[in-house]
Amino acid sequence: KGQPAGGLDLLFDTLMVRAMDEPDAMYGLLASSAEIADDRNSVVFTLRPEARFHDGTPVTAADVVFSFETLKEKAHPIIRLPLRDIVKAEALDAGHVRFSFATQETRDLPMLVAELPIFSKAYYTAHDFTATTVTPPLGSGPYTVKNVKLGRAITYARNADYWGWKLPVNRGRFNFA
């Protein structure tokens, strides 16, 4: 509902991030690896055990499944429409999640799911995902919300406790305090 603040994506990590100098290349962020099935009908992501939300809780496969299901059901149609060919997400265990696809025709489906923001299932069990709010959400990314002036400004601050600062994929990124 409404217009989200610019930059909110800085609060949420994704399973993988694109390499800006290589088309179709992605590198692990929350996920340390991705394995596409031989028939190309599914992909399994292995999560990094050190990945954490801002409150210190680990990012688990249940969070990934929850994020996918929430976005597929409740997100803006611009986000929901590309997810139509992803049949399901399932937690294989706390550190592995599999996405199953309806077709092999769309070769970008593994990349699409790899770029979805991952939300805390525990947080959104206590907070309605669809409710309009000015309370900053719980994320796992390199920034947190420092200050909000409703309708005027939002200020982000680097999260000194961000779990992913030392990952090679983050080298040279998120340098503004």
DSSP 3-57: -PPTTGGGG--BSEEE-TTSTT-EEESSEEEEEE-TTSSEEEEEEPTT-B-TTSP
Q: What is the pTM of this model?
A: 0.94
Identify the residue with better confidence: 104 or 48.
Answer: 48
Mean pLDDT computed over 150-168: 93
- Does 130 have pLDDT greater than 90? no
Mean pLDDT computed over 115-136: 92
Percent of the chain with pLDDT over 90: 76
**pLDDT grade, residue 104 (50/70/90)?**
confident
* Tokens 């991952």 -> residue: 118
**pLDDT grade, residue 1 (50/70/90)?**
low
- Does 106 have pLDDT greater than 80? no
**Tens digit of each residue's pLDDT (9 = 90 or more) over 41-88:** 999 999 999 999 999 999 999 999 999 999 999 988 898 999 999 999
- Give the model's pLDDT for residue 55: 96
What average pLDDT does the structure give for the chain?
A: 93
* Tokens 């999560």 -> residue: 47
